[in-house]
């Protein structure tokens, strides 16, 4: 069967499944809408968290990033998994015991202050909007590559689907569709990876395969190191980035992960405190299945690509090369006119431009797998993008209807009224996200760093101190968050946008001025440290929190007992 037919069938089937689940899991109360009624089993919540967490970028781009970065790519692998250890040990169980609906809920109650709540709402909205615009764009791009529709059309279809199940089912609908989406995306990722591992190394487990020997009896990684050296690239197993920067980026991503509101709220949905701990473990296990496969795919794809194209005659290249040339993901420019592909590190002599996304997208074709597998990768990419978009939209909607409307503007709103408001805010959120998907701000890629940096610089210290330091008061927490957010925004504006030095063109020249040699991606680590320092300094000169707040802190540290907050 034709590839396009297969793709339409698989995408159609999965979409029908998502809609079916949405109808089955309609939300009837605000508690169901915000936290799925607090009744999601830990394993399923683990799957939902994994799907929520792994975006189109994880699914499509990560292997490519690692493939081109080699050792440098490790910062993403460790940074985006290590954060779950922090979540499971330092945040999830206590926030579950606290037992409300959102992150600003916790900040507002723990720091007994409207100002703290508003700062938290602003941070949650900033983080989630930056993140979601990239996801909607991702949906459009996957559509256009696999279904041959316009990117804009793809964004509209994605909006319609997310709108349907997010508005109808709220967190309940989102949770169960995410479970389905996890199964689809992990299957779609693993099938080609396993086949390619068998082809290249004879080992069906990719994680072991990329440490084995190829058919020529040479260890795959040694061979790749050699190929890289020959072509003038850095060795695959060592990197280009400085030690400080690798360290800082890993910290920023780990802490940012633990501070992302759409990930944290997932732990409000399980029945008990012990389930919150357990489901963080399941979530990381499900994520690690993909994340430990990624570096294997990266090595297979890079070796394959170099061996197939480097110093080969252009006319004798396999068909997939020409197929992907048409999409613009591969570009060959025969600079010296000898009809041979020279792929080298030296920019002046290099003749081949490779888009990093091709490492996942073209993999099944390179390995000669059947069309249905190729189509499956498309359905998997859509599942990854949609699940993350939906999770983010819910955070935005609940920030507006619950944190802002119910808690600040209109405390007397009825249960029914709040549910209506929640649905309306998700409609509004989908519209705004769709707008950014259709008119992507040129800086989408740049702002992802900002999302993590902001989460690391604002939420993580405030929540951790709120749980582990009983004397932490509102003055300290608010000052810390404002300082962290402020410094992070300043650094990104200066070094990512060149805001103070004449725009984007100035960014490259500013690199030598990086503080401590730390890139904007890693600066969240510094901003977080500043937040901690400011909080701990201010708290010394200001009065301790009232006794009932200190009692609440003691209460959330103990797993049992009725959480005073549940069901509000």
Partner 1 sequence: MPDKKKMHDYWKENLKYLAILLSIWFVVSYLFAILLAEPLNGIRFFGFKLGFWFAQQGSMYVFVILIFVYVRWVNKLDKKYKVE
Residues found near partner 1 in the complex (CB under 8 A): 66, 71, 73-74, 77-78, 81-82, 84-85, 88-90, 93, 207-208, 210-213, 219-222, 237-238, 243, 246-247, 250, 274, 277-278, 280-281, 284-285, 288, 291-292, 295, 554, 557-561
Least distance (Å) between residue 564 CB and partner 1: 12
Least distance (Å) between residue 267 CB and partner 1: 13
Nearer to partner 1, 88 or 385 (CB): 88
Cβ atoms of residues 62 and 76 within 8 Å: yes
Cβ atoms of residues 241 and 73 within 8 Å: no
d(CA 568, CA 556): 16
Least distance (Å) between residue 208 CB and partner 1: 8
The contacts of residue 120 (CB under 8 Å, 6+ apart) are 103, 104, 107, 108, 403, 458, 459, 462, 481
Nearer to partner 1, 152 or 235 (CB): 235
Nearer to partner 1, 15 or 286 (CB): 286
Least distance (Å) between residue 46 CB and partner 1: 10
Nearer to partner 1, 78 or 507 (CB): 78
Least distance (Å) between residue 10 CB and partner 1: 29
Which residues does residue 340 pair with via DSSP β-bridges, in sequence order?
313
CA distances to 29, 35, 247 from 38, rounded to whole Å, are 12, 6, 37
Least distance (Å) between residue 109 CB and partner 1: 19
Nearer to partner 1, 489 or 550 (CB): 550
Q: Give the DSSP per-residue string, 84-136.
A: HHHIIIIIHHHHHHH--S-HHHHHHHHTT-HHHHHHHHHHHHHHHHHHHHHHH
Identify which of 14, 491, 68 has the alpha carbon closest to the alpha carbon of residue 297.
68
Nearer to partner 1, 336 or 560 (CB): 560
Nearer to partner 1, 163 or 287 (CB): 287
The contacts of residue 18 (CB under 8 Å, 6+ apart) are 161, 165, 177, 180, 181, 386
Nearer to partner 1, 57 or 525 (CB): 525
Cβ atoms of residues 454 and 127 within 8 Å: yes
Element (H, E) at 330: strand 330-332
Nearer to partner 1, 173 or 522 (CB): 522
Least distance (Å) between residue 249 CB and partner 1: 10
Could you tell me the two tokens for 226?
A: 């050699």
277-294 b/e (C-beta count within 10 Å ≥ 16 → b):
bbbbbbbbebbeebbebb
d(CA 350, CA 429): 44
Nearer to partner 1, 43 or 344 (CB): 43
End-to-end CA distance of the chain: 55
Q: Give the DSSP per-residue string, 186-226.
A: HHHHHHHHHHHHHHHHS-S-HHHHTTSB-TTSSBHHHHHHH
SS3 354: strand
């Amino acid at each position: 069967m034709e590839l396009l037919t297969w793709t339409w069938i698989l995408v159609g089937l999965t979409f029908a499944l998502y809609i079916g689940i949405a109808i089955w899991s309609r939300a009837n109360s605000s508690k169901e809408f915000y936290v799925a009624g607090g009744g999601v089993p830990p394993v399923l919540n683990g799957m939902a968290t994994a799907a929520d967490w792994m975006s189109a970028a994880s699914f499509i781009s990560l292997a490519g990033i690692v493939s081109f970065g080699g050792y440098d790519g490790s910062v993403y692998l460790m940074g985006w998994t290590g954060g779950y250890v922090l979540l499971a040990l330092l945040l999830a169980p206590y926030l579950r015991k606290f037992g409300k609906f959102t992150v600003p809920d916790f900040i507002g109650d723990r720091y007994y202050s409207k100002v703290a709540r508003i700062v938290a709402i602003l941070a949650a909205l900033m983080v989630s909007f930056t993140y979601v615009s990239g996801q909607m764009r991702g949906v459009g791009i996957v559509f256009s590559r696999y279904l041959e529709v316009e990117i804009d059309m793809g964004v509209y279809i994605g909006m319609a689907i997310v709108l349907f199940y997010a508005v109808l089912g709220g967190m309940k609908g989102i949770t169960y569709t995410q479970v389905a989406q996890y199964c689809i995306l992990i299957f779609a990722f693993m099938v080609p990876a396993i086949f390619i591992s068998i082809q290249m190394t004879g080992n069906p487990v990719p994680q072991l395969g990329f440490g084995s020997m190829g058919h020529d009896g040479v260890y795959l990684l040694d061979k790749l190191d050699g190929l890289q050296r020959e072509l003038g690239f850095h060795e695959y197993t060592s990197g280009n980035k400085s030690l400080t920067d690798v360290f800082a980026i890993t910290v920023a991503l780990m802490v940012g992960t633990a501070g992302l509101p759409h990930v944290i709220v997932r732990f409000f949905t399980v029945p008990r405190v012990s389930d919150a701990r357990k489901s963080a473990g399941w979530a990381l296990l499900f994520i690690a299945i993909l994340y430990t496969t990624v570096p294997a795919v990266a090595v297979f794809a890079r070796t394959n690509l170099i061996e197939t194209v480097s110093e080969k005659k252009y006319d004798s290249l396999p068909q997939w090369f020409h197929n992907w040339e048409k999409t613009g993901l591969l570009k060959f420019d025969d600079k010296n006119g000898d009809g041979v592909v020279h792929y080298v590190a030296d920019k002046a002599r290099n003749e081949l431009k490779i888009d990093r996304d091709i490492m996942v997208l073209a993999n099944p074709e390179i390995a000669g797998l059947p069309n249905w597998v190729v189509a499956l990768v498309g359905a998997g990419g859509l599942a990854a993008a949609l699940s993350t978009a939906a999770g983010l939209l819910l955070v935005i909607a609940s920030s507006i209807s619950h944190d802002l409307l119910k808690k600040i503007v209109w405390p007397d709103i009825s249960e029914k009224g709040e549910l209506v408001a929640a649905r309306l805010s998700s409609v509004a959120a989908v519209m705004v996200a769709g707008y950014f998907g259709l008119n992507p701000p040129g800086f989408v890629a740049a702002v992802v760093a900002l999302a993590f940096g902001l989460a690391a610089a604002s939420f993580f210290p405030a929540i951790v101190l709120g749980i582990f330091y009983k004397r932490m008061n509102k003055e300290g927490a608010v000052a810390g968050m404002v300082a962290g957010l402020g410094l992070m925004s300043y650094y990104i504006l200066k070094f990512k946008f060149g805001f103070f030095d004449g725009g984007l063109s100035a960014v490259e020249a500013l690199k030598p001025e990086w503080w401590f040699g730390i890139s904007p991606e890693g600066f969240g680590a510094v901003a977080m440290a500043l937040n901690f320092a400011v909080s701990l300094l201010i708290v010394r000169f200001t009065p301790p929190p009232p006794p009932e707040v200190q009692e609440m802190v003691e209460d959330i540290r103990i797993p049992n007992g009725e959480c005073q907050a549940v069901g509000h």
